[in-house]
Chain A
Amino acid sequence: MIRVEREDLGALALGCALLGSGGGGATTQLELLAAGGAWPVDVHAVDAVDPATPCLAVALAGSTMVMTERLPGTDRLSAAVAAAERWLGCEVPAVCTLEIGGLNGLTALVAAGGRAVVDADCMGRALPGIDQVSLLVDGLPGLVVATTTGDGVGVVDRPRPADAEAVVRAALRLSGGTGAVVVAGFTVGDLAEHAVVGTTSRALSLGRGFLAARESAIGELAAAVGGRLLAQGRIQAVLTDPVDPQVQAFDLVDPGGAVHRLVTRTETLALMTDGVLVSAAPTVLAVLDVRTRAVLQISDLSPAHHIAVVELAAPTWWTARPDRLRRVTPAAYGVADLEPDLAR
């Protein structure tokens, strides 16, 4: 068990932002919401909780851009949680976050409401799709997905990953672009095998390491969070893919002359240097502002911005099996020729 104090909130949020891999949304609003809650918060390790304990995975979903305009609150999360519990017919005493990367890293803390917070999540980083929720990817039986609609909650019982994605996407459109998603119908014991465990503590230690080394050279900062500095330079051009406009390639001018391409979609997907693929999803590629050391979202990037790309290890849950991996490599988003070499 780790006890998170209120003063740890900043470090935790920073760690979540790093795991956001350039996406997942800015954590500011959730930090403010969480700051108003009860402190300290105990985050229980998965193996410290009775494996038979029913558990919920919660998240805010939809456009992170819209969330900066329409501030997210707990009422939507509560409505979705209530619907899931009504469907299951019991109170669920444990909660974890659906996605540790980005703003959702703090959602479990905000939505706990007296439930035990479990140190695990269903993505291990930020990912754009509900079909990329680990529980759904593994095809765990008995799952239920609840998602807010225009003025209510939609519940999908025992969905296939693609069904869950399609229904949630439709519901989010009705609810104005953002909403809450709750996955239920599993136990804490299921998390040990079908989710990424220890991610809240990973985010906290990343955040602490980052804060401690914030003023040092960018390479040392990367090393302090257990990562690797892959590239830094000025954004020379942003090329948008003509077929999928969400796919962008940032042309970085390296002071040493190397040609870097940071390929992104909702998150960073890959980094290529001098025509050689250096790193690709599901490896986390966090983007930092070289001057302010801020952890950047892709929407923050623009020409002439001086940035650094820091590689953090991919959650091993994804890389352990080929059927999991193929859901999170660049090819899963239709981006060709950037498949990571896992023999590395």
Chain B
Amino acid sequence: MTGLDLTALLAEPANGALRHVAGPDEGDWPTALLALTEELLETAGAGRLAVVATPLPREPWRVDALLRRVHERGYSALAVPGAERLDAGARRLAARIGLAVLAVERPVELAETSWRLAVARDALVLDLVRRLTVAFRHPARDLADLLSHLAAAAGAGVALLDATGVVEEHGGELAPWLGGHADLVRWDRWTDIVASPEMSVATVRVDSPSRPGLRLAFFAPGIRDAQVDALAVAAEIAMPAVAARILIDEVNTVTDASVSSDLLHDFLVSGDAHHEDVDRRMTERGWRTTGYHLGFRVIGRTRVDTLALLRAVSGALGPLGIESHAAAHGQGVTAWLRWVRIPARRDLERHVHELRAVHETLRRSFNVASGVGSLQAERAGLAATIGEAGDAARIAAQRSATNWFVRVDGLGLEQLLLARTENDTFLPAAESLLAPLRGDDDVLLTTLTSYLDHESGIAATADALGVHRNTVTGRIQRIQETLGVDMHDPSVRLALHLACRAVLR
């Protein structure tokens, strides 16, 4: 390609707000020529883009005549302010004479950009580099902040890629395109350029020891060779800063996690006694002890990466919209929700339900069990509910039936009931009642238990067991037929529920 083309111009950020209005919607031109008025344009157009700074006249016949004159001087395209008001007749005329008409708000900016694209390609790179160095002057909060600074400075999209796809992206959307074209990026190369009509991407390997396999990508749709080459240079210049930022972020995270972990530990061992130093450190972290607290503890049923778990828990608690804190603590994460005023019972139940949802989200990535404490007030209460949550989590680690989730509020009554069933008369009766359901793997018994646990909800049971809903429906029917009981009778359900618990204990 030589010179300019419409697609490349439209993709440039500083194109003077260019829009295609009428006539051919593609084309390339050797250069652009700026003139104050149409009369002052050079007489030999030579297929160039004419940029006229004076807005189009308001009379339609004068617009027609102007388009005609520009065309007859040999220009292939005309960019002029006010072209968006072109009426249907003028649009037909533009198409008829083959003159591309573009609306531009800042004609001088367009002329300058056209010059850079067509003639001074090094100026393109230098300009980009200069803008990037300006971006580095502003301190970034974290990696995402740095990437968004880079995107804003380069006027292009910036993304971090790994083998699975886009990790982070700013200033544009690369993920949809990358989904279908991931194989185009050559991972073994230091820098790599992929240019396609819909998206052009320049990537460079990120030299980061802690997170290998990352690439920094600068991308923009519809740009041409000169522009992608400039982006590749930009990516190479920005990469060390990105690598450094990744390292800094990681150190920050580890330090922060260990500080909060220590503080939580100190708080819990300090007990009821007010410890000035602990109180001050808690205030500094924004952990207030006044108000009402609900503890939540997540522990690994097998070995888990506590830092990753902490990130996941913090991330999942954030969207709940309640003040929440989390800290790594032993082989798990301790978190709590805080209210200034006592929450309504209904709200509390909703939040516990949300915590269960958080637990289920975590279960997708980690083999964990979670416990929830009861609502407690003030400083002593905070320690108490965290303690309860820890106990509940330990119990939950043994409870597949509740999907590894236990709440202390429900615990007391249930424990009491189960304690009553452990006598010599109930257990044999329960075992004989459920004997028809027992088999090699107790699948029917497990299904029944889970079904009763989930308030006879087919969908919830299916989710908990990881099977299809139709499978659950079928099994429940078989159970009813086998036992010959009416599951709609509350007392029958209670008896079955207790029997299941006693037998499975």
Contact = CB atoms under 8 A, between A and B. Distances in A.
Interface of A: 236-237, 239, 241-243, 249, 251, 253, 257-259, 261, 263, 270, 272, 274-277, 335-338
Contact of B69 (A253, A258, A275, A338): A275
A272 B88 contact: no
Contacts of B60: 239, 249, 251, 261
B97 interface: yes
Contacts of A270: 61
B83 interface: no
Nearest to A239: B60
Given A251-B88, A275-B66, 4 more contacts: A241-B59, A249-B60, A263-B61, A337-B65
B67 interface: yes
Interface string B53-77: 0000111111011111101000000
A150 B13 CA distance: 67
Given A239-B60, A257-B96, A277 B65 contact: yes
A241 to B, nearest CB: 7
Interface of B: 57-62, 64-69, 71, 87-90, 92-93, 96-97
Contacts of A236: 88-89
Nearest to A276: B68
A237 B58 contact: no
Which of A242, A270, A276 has the most chain B CB within a 10 Å cutoff?
A276
Given A274-B68, A276-B68, A258 B62 contact: no
B59 A336 contact: yes
Contacts of B88: 236-237, 251
Name B's interface SS.
helix
A341 to B, nearest CB: 13
A335 B58 CA distance: 12
A239 B60 CA distance: 8
Contacts of B68: 274-276
Name A's interface SS.
strand
A275 B93 contact: yes
A258 B95 CA distance: 11
Contacts of A242: 58
A231 to B, nearest CB: 12
7 contacts: A249-B61, A251-B88, A253-B92, A257-B96, A258-B96, A275-B66, A277-B65
Given A237-B89, A251-B88, A275-B69, A259 B58 contact: no
Given A236-B89, A239-B60, A249-B60, A276 B65 contact: yes
Contacts of B57: 336-337
Given A258-B96, A274-B97, A251 B59 contact: no
A259 B61 CA distance: 10
A243 B92 CA distance: 25
B89 A259 contact: yes
